Amino acid sequence: MEAMIFFKWLGFATLIILLISGVVYWIKVAFHKWQYWLKYKVFRRKFNKEVVDFLAEDLKNGVDAEEMFKAILLSGKATLNQAREIRYIYKELKRRYKNE
C-alpha cells in the first residue's frame, strides 16, 4: 500500500514539474518572438539613426527583408541577434513607408 501511495505522489509531482516547465518554455518562446516589439513599441526606444539611414537605402532599392537579413549574416558584421533586430527595424520602416 505504501508503494502505491509513493508512486501516486511521484506521478503527481512529475506532472506538476512538466506543467511548470511547459509554461516556462512557452513564456521564453513568446518573449523571443515579441522581444523587439516590446523594446520599440512598449518601452518606446528610438531606432538607431545610422541603421535607419542604411536601411532607407535598401528600402528605396526595393531589397527584400530576407535578402537583406542573409546579406548581413553572410557579411559577418553582425551577430544573429543584431541581424534579427535590423530585420525588425527594416520591416517597421517598410510598413511605415507603405502607409504614407
**CA 93 – CA 57 distance, rounded (Å):** 11
Query: Would you kindly state where each structural domain of the chain is located, as residue ranges?
Result: 1-33, 34-100
The answer to whether residues 40 and 47 touch, using CB atoms and an 8 Å cutoff, is: yes
* Secondary structure (DSSP) of 25-57: HHHHHHHHHSHHHIIIIIS-PPPPHHHHHHHHH
Q: pTM of the full predicted structure?
A: 0.73
Given a cut of 90, is residue 26 above it in pLDDT? yes
| Cell numbers standing for residue 64 | 527584400
pLDDT of 38 strictly over 70: yes
The answer to whether 55 touches 72, Cβ cutoff 8 Å, is no
Residue 13, pLDDT score? 96
Instruction: Say whether pLDDT at 100 is over 70.
Output: no
What's the confidence (pLDDT) of residue 54?
87
47-60 pLDDT, tens digit per residue, is 989 989 989 888 88
The grid coordinates of residue 98 equal 507603405
CA distances from 38 to 10, 31, 41, 66, 90 (A): 40, 9, 5, 22, 16
Contact 75/44 with Cβ under 8 angstroms?
A: no
